[in-house]
């Protein structure tokens, strides 16, 4: 219980603490929160809405969680981030439980939980409103349920049914990959063990039926109500199209996910690398059952996402519990054998933190526009240097476990510093601040002009209708049911019809509006906040 309590305490610090400090960020946190908010406004539990129209970019489960959180906690950042944080905590406990089952070793299970709980990508997504954390934890619990069935014949029925229950919930969270990923991983594992007949069981059929009963009703209801519109948006645009067309072209590189894997596990990157090398060496004489189970999991996730041209860091989060198990098992073995890999890795991370701690002092003048106060920089530097020194001291005293304990807190200085600079940071990541400078008229709807990245946030924070200005651009990758002005002619027609328009624009949009004829439009800059320009645009009467 002591180790479980440590994992829960770490989960609170890394996933829950400070979640109300920063407003919801653009463009994704406000997207999911706005959808839940509009579902509530429409009295709707089945159809996701955005800009008062149905939208099918993701299934409904995450929106249900957000609606529940808003009902009980109010529409605020902490409520919006509550369930991602809770699921992140459940994921840590799930990895610990799976480690106990697979390793049959409490220390290995504990280190696996620590690695997951304190890794950069997992912490980041545990504090962010995305579908990926909930989706990943359901996939983790699918694998956990299956391995329970595999490892304990007395619980085979419970495990097989649980496998499909959690897979069904994953399908209801993000789509068909919620079943395809765990099913592919399990089949790979059983093929290697030559035990594919393990699935030839009546409880597999029962589990499939229960999982289908969980996932299919929403899909059926959407198809019956919206027909081809639902098929086109959900299955074609948001699944099939992403295989062949990159939403973010800069990410469409073969090495994007391997680099995400390594950087996303910081500060455990070197241990993960060493664990992968050790696993590769073991392939020569054969892996044990649990190691191949982890490898099958990794292969299944990569096979699902690597071929697609549309790549995002968050997509491969389902991989990270498997990487945590691989790394946690390796760390405990290295500690037990007094491997020098532990010392070398800790010294290397300590050196990196020391260099970074000194480097931020020299870099601070370059970013004085964004961080006018140097105090947070001094604070970050002092923490990094102190932690680096502490880790080195423990290693020199032949106490690697406490050094690893300090290493597990390596992200804490960055989180604490982010809380300190919240006021300076927020205008650059959230439209909450800028929305306060847009005039509101209670009970009266107006249409705001917005640059594309700010449309969802302005809608969320102001409740007003939005028209997007994107000269020579187009609709969103997942089309939104709003007017998008792509030519100067469309812009002038819109401004003349509305007479008085308030706008929140990026620099390019501000320039386009400023270049309008001064005898037809009066453009006033009300406020510049972060990268945003708040404008008042008046259409002048013809002379």
Among candidate residues 213, 329, 315, 210, the one with its CA nearest the CA of residue 268: 329
Q: How far apart are the first and last CA of the chain?
A: 80
| Alpha carbons 340 and 443: distance in angstroms, whole number | 68
Q: How many CB atoms lie within 10 A of CB 13?
A: 17
| Alpha carbons 116 and 178: distance in angstroms, whole number | 20
Enter the pTM of the model.
0.95
Query: Which uninterrupted H or E stretch holds 537?
Result: strand 532-539
Q: Do the strands 465-469 and 521-529 form a parallel or antiparallel pair, or are they unpaired?
A: unpaired
- CA Rg, the chain, in Å? 26
Structure tokens at 302: 């990569």
**Cβ burial, residue 224 (10 Å; 0-12/13-18/19+):** exposed
Q: Which residues of the chain have pLDDT under 70?
A: 441-444, 543
How confident is the model at residue 535, as a pLDDT? 94
- The DSSP code sequence of 87-141 is HHHHHHHHHHHHHHHHH--HHHHHHHHHHHHH-HHHHHHHTS--SHHHHHHHHHH
How confident is the model at residue 239, as a pLDDT? 85
Q: Do the strands 484-485 and 500-505 form a parallel or antiparallel pair, or are they unpaired?
A: unpaired
How confident is the model at residue 439, as a pLDDT? 82
How confident is the model at residue 150, as a pLDDT? 96
Residue pLDDT, tens place only, 74-109: 999 999 999 999 999 999 999 999 999 999 999 999
How confident is the model at residue 442, as a pLDDT? 59
User: Torsions phi, psi of 86, nearest 5?
Assistant: -65, -45
- Angle of helix 289-305 relative to helix 77-103, nearest 10 degrees, comes to 140
| Alpha carbons 172 and 23: distance in angstroms, whole number | 27
How confident is the model at residue 285, as a pLDDT? 78
How confident is the model at residue 200, as a pLDDT? 94
Assess contact for 418 and 377: CB atoms under 8 A. Answer: no
| Alpha carbons 234 and 411: distance in angstroms, whole number | 37
Structure tokens at 275: 């664990």
Query: Which uninterrupted H or E stretch holds 49?
Result: strand 49-50
**Cβ burial, residue 223 (10 Å; 0-12/13-18/19+):** middle
Residue pLDDT, tens place only, 428-457: 899 999 998 988 765 667 899 999 999 999
Q: How many CB atoms lie within 10 A of CB 283?
A: 11
Assess contact for 324 and 112: CB atoms under 8 A. Answer: yes
How confident is the model at residue 286, as a pLDDT? 76
Residue 450: CA count within 13 A, CB half-sphere: 25
- The DSSP code sequence of 442-511 is TT---EEEEEGGGHHHHHHHH--EEEEE-TT----SS--SS-EE-SHHHHHHHHHHHSEEEEEE-HHHHH
């Amino acid at each position: 219980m002591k180790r479980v309590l440590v994992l829960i305490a770490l989960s609170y610090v890394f996933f829950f603490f400070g979640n109300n400090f920063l407003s919801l960020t653009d463009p994704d946190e406000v997207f999911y929160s706005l959808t839940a908010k509009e579902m509530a406004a429409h009295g709707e539990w089945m159809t996701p809405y955005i800009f008062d129209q149905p939208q099918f970019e993701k299934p409904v489960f995450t929106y249900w969680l957000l609606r529940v959180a808003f009902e009980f906690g109010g529409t605020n950042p902490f409520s919006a981030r509550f369930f991602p944080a809770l699921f992140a905590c459940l994921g840590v406990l799930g990895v610990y439980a799976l480690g106990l089952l697979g390793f049959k070793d409490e220390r290995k299970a504990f280190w696996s939980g620590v690695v997951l709980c304190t890794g950069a990508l997992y912490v980041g997504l545990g504090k962010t409103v995305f579908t990926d954390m909930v989706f990943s934890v359901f996939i983790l619990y699918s694998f956990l349920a299956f391995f329970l069935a595999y490892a304990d014949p007395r619980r085979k029925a419970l495990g097989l049914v649980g496998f499909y229950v959690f897979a069904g919930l994953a399908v209801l969270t993000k789509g068909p990959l919620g079943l395809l990923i765990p099913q592919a991983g399990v089949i790979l594992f059983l093929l290697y063990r030559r035990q594919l007949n393990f699935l030839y069981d009546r409880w597999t059929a029962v589990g499939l039926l229960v999982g289908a009963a969980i996932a299919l009703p929403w899909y059926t209801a959407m198809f019956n109500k919206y027909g081809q519109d639902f098929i086109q948006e959900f299955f074609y645009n948001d699944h099939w199209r992403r295989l062949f067309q990159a939403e973010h072209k800069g990410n469409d590189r073969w090495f994007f996910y391997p680099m995400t894997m390594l950087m996303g596990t910081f500060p455990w990157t070197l241990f993960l690398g060493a664990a992968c090398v050790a696993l590769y060496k073991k392939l020569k004489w054969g892996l044990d059952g649990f190691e191949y189970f982890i490898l099958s999991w990794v292969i299944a996730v990569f096979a699902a996402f690597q071929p697609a041209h549309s790549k995002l860091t968050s997509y491969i989060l389902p991989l990270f519990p498997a990487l945590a198990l691989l790394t946690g098992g390796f760390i405990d073995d290295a500690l037990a054998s007094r491997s020098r890999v532990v010392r070398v890795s800790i010294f290397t991370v300590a050196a990196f933190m020391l260099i970074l701690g000194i480097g931020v002092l020299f870099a601070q003048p370059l970013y004085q526009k964004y961080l006018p106060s140097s105090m947070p920089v001094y604070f970050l530097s002092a923490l990094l240097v102190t932690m680096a020194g502490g880790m080195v001291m423990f290693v020199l005293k032949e106490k690697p476990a406490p050094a690893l304990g300090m290493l597990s807190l390596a992200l804490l200085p960055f989180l604490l510093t982010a809380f300190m600079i919240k006021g300076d940071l927020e205008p650059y990541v959230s439209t909450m601040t800028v929305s306060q400078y847009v005039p509101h008229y209670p009970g009266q709807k107006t249409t705001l002009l917005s640059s594309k990245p700010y449309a969802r946030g302005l809608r969320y924070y102001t409740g007003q209708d939005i028209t997007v200005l994107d000269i020579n651009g187009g609709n969103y990758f997942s089309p939104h049911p709003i007017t998008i002005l792509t030519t100067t002619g469309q812009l002038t027609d819109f401004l003349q019809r509305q007479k008085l328009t308030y706008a929140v624009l990026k620099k390019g949009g501000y320039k386009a509006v400023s270049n309008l004829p001064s005898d037809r439009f009066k453009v006033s800059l009300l406020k510049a906040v972060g990268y945003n320009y708040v404008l008042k645009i008046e259409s002048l009467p013809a002379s």
